[in-house]
Amino acid sequence: MDERKPRLPVVPATARPETLALDAGLQIDPVTRSIQPNLSMSVNNLVVPGEGAFSAAGLGDIAQEPFTYARWLNPTVRALEVRMAALEGAEDALAFATGVAAIAGMFLTLLKQGDHLVIGDVTYAGAAELARGILPDLGIEVTAVNLSEPGALAAALRPNTRLVHCESPCNPILRLTDLAEVARIAHARGVPVSVDSTLATPVATQPLALGVDLVVHSLTKFINGHGDALGGVVAGRREVIARMRGRAGVYLGAAMPAANAWLILRGIDTLFPRMRQINETAGRVAAFLEGHGAVTGVVYPGLASHPQAGLAARQMKLAGGMIFFRTDAPEAMARRLAERLQVVHYAFSLGHQRSIVTMLDTDAMARETYRLTPAQVLDYRRYAGGGGFRLSVGLEAAEDVIADLDQALTGGG
C-alpha cells in the first residue's frame, strides 16, 4: 500500500443526522485531496465508445450511468442529491432548479389525463396555483381539502386518485398535517402521499419515517439558508425517483445549476446548528409577540396555544423558525413595519440567515391563491384572521429581533 495516498473516509452506517449533513456522499478529490466538495461546471464529460447514450430514452436509472451531460446528471448536483437522500432516510433524491420545479416534476411524472390529485387546501402558493390553474388544463382532476381533518381526506379519495399532496407546517398559517394518519388513510386505498416539508426541514421532521412516500423541499429556504441560491428536491424510493429523473429530470429542462448545488451543499453543512439557533430565537420571539399589546394572535408550533400543539410535540423535534402573527388593521401595520424595521427585513421569501416578515391578506389568499370554499375560509381565518404577518426568524440575536419588532409594532422609540 502506498502510504502517501490519503485514506478516503466513509461515513459510518451508524452516523447521526448531524454528521450526515456534513459528510453523506462526500467525495474526496483524488488529485487535490480537497475535503470541500468540488464545483463541476462542465456541461460535458469524457466518455468511451459504448458508454452512455445520445438519448436518455433508452437508459434505465440515469443516476447509475456515467456522467455524460449536465442536464441529465452533474457531479456537484449528484452530491447534493445523495446528501439530501441521506438526511431524509430516502433511497434516492432528484434535484431541480427551484422548489416549484420539483413539485411540477413530481406532479407531471405521477399524474396524467384522467387522474385525480388530492391536495391540501392551504399549501405553498406555487403548488396551489399550479394544481388549481394548470393541472385541470391537462385533464387532471384536482380536489383541495383540509388535510388536518382525516375525514375530509377519506371522503375526497376516488378510484382514479393517484396522489395525495400535503404540507406540514403549511405555508403561511402553520397549520399541521398528521402525516402518519394521512399516509394510513391514503395507503389503505393504494394512493401514495407526498409532503412539502420545507418549513420543517429534516432537522424537525422526517416524513418518510412516518409513512409518507415522497418528501419535497424548496432548497432555496432553510436548507440553503443564505438567500443566494434557488433549488428544489424530491426524495423517496429509488424506482420512483428514477422514473421521475427519466421524465421530468430530462425533459422539463429544470436542471439545477451546479453552482447552486455547491452553494446549497455549503448551507447543509451548518443546517443543524442553524436550525437549532433559529428555533431557540423563534420560541422567544413567539412568546414575546403573544404578550405584546399590539398583537392579537400568534401561531407557532412551539406555543401551547397552537391549535395542534399535541401533534406538533409528537411530529416535530423542533418547532421551527416560522411564526404567523396578527394585528389590528394589518395593512396599516404593514406600512409601519416596512418603514420602521431596522433588524428584521420587510421582504418576501423565508428561511434565510436574516429575519424576514411580510403581510398576507386573507381575502386575497383565499380568493386568488387557494380558491377556498366558505367552510375552508372559516378554518383559514381561525389561524390568519383577516390577514397577518409571516415572520421567518434568522440568525440575529433574539434580543435584537425582539427589540426591533417592539419599536416597530408600538411606533415608539
Write the burial class of residue 338 (CB in 10 Å: 0-12 exposed, 13-18 middle, 19+ buried).
Answer: middle
Q: Which residues of 218-231 are buried (b: 16+ CB within 10 A; e: fewer)?
A: bbbbbbbbbbebbb
Per-residue pLDDT of the chain (413 residues; tens, 9 = 90+): 444 555 556 677 788 988 889 888 888 777 777 888 888 888 777 566 666 665 666 566 766 676 766 677 888 999 999 999 999 999 999 999 999 999 999 999 999 999 999 999 999 999 999 999 999 999 999 999 999 997 999 999 999 999 999 999 999 999 999 999 999 999 999 999 999 999 999 999 999 999 999 999 999 999 999 999 999 999 999 999 999 999 999 889 999 999 999 999 999 999 999 999 999 999 999 999 999 999 999 999 999 999 999 999 999 999 999 999 999 999 999 999 999 999 999 999 999 999 999 999 999 999 988 999 999 999 999 899 999 999 999 999 999 999 999 999 997 54
| Cβ pair 200, 320 in contact under 8 A | yes
Domain ranges of the chain: 17-266, 271-410
**Rounded-to-integer distance, Cα 313 and Cα 111, Å:** 34
**Rounded-to-integer distance, Cα 301 and Cα 169, Å:** 8
**Rounded-to-integer distance, Cα 342 and Cα 228, Å:** 21
Write the DSSP symbol of residue 44. Answer: B
Where does 271-410 sit in CATH, by number? 3.90.1150.10
**Rounded-to-integer distance, Cα 351 and Cα 364, Å:** 23
The answer to whether the pTM exceeds 0.85 is yes
Where does 17-266 sit in CATH, by number? 3.40.640.10
**Rounded-to-integer distance, Cα 310 and Cα 368, Å:** 32
Selection from 336, 358, 334 nearest residue 345 by Cα: 358
CATH topology identical between 17-266 and 271-410 = no
What does the block give as the cell for 215? 418528501
**Rounded-to-integer distance, Cα 143 and Cα 156, Å:** 7
- The phi-psi region of residue 89 (left if phi > 0; otherwise alpha if psi is between -120 and 50; otherwise beta) is left
Give every CB contact of residue 174 below 8 A, 6+ residues apart in sequence. Answer: 199, 299, 300, 301, 306, 322, 323, 324, 383
Write the DSSP symbol of residue 398. Answer: H
